[in-house]
Amino acid sequence: MDPWGALLTIVISAAPVLELRGGLPFALARGLTPAWALALSLIGNLAVIPLILWGLERIERILMRFDWTRRALRWVFARSRRKGRWVQRLGMVGLLLLVAIPLPGTGAWTGAIASRLLGLPNRKVLPWIAAGVLIAAALVLAASLGVMDVFGLGPSA
């Protein structure tokens, strides 16, 4: 794969919504070996987790300085805590499952935002989100290789 394709894989994997679920199949479709596709996708997806966690914390501190944004944030946090009871009930395993299940609306971005809204400490959630990304990567890689083999696009073709 050319350097542009490698960089694009990392960017796609770091992007919200697409994340690794888009970057990994993209890299495989461009002819990258599964090991390199996995590595580049993980680099992109894992790199954004600390940025999201600590970036959201900083944004929250700034927004809490103003009355109208503080009221809005408190409402959002209270609502999130009510709606996120299943994550709170399951604890970090719930967060891991939220990140690991490769469906739309799940992933590192969702896990990081949910942990912030639920008031979970960044240092505690970081390894759980990363573990969820690794599980999702394994699932997406297995699914991608299986689909490629079915359509004759895999490495054995």
- Asked whether residue 38 carries a pLDDT value surpassing 80, the answer given is yes
Over residues 20-48, mean pLDDT: 95
The answer to whether residues 119 and 107 touch, using CB atoms and an 8 Å cutoff, is no
In this prediction, residues 59-75 reach a mean pLDDT of 92
Cα dihedral 84/86/87/93 (nearest 10): -170
In this predicted structure, the answer to whether residue 151 has a pLDDT above a threshold of 70 is no
Residues above pLDDT 70, as percent of the chain: 92
Residues 74, 77: Cα–Cα separation, whole Å: 5
35, pLDDT greater than 70: yes
What is the value of pTM for the model shown?
0.85
Q: What is the pLDDT of residue 157?
A: 47
CA distance 157 to 59: 49
Question: DSSP for 64-77?
Answer: TTSHHHHHHHHHHH
Residue 131 has pLDDT above 70, yes or no: yes
Task: Decide: helix, strand or coil at residue 107.
Answer: coil
102: phi then psi, degrees, rounded to nearest 5: -80, 70
Q: Which helix (H) or strand (E) holds 116?
A: helix 108-117
- When mean pLDDT is compared across 10-19, 22-31, 77-86, the lowest value belongs to 77-86
CB neighbours of residue 117 within 10 Å: 20
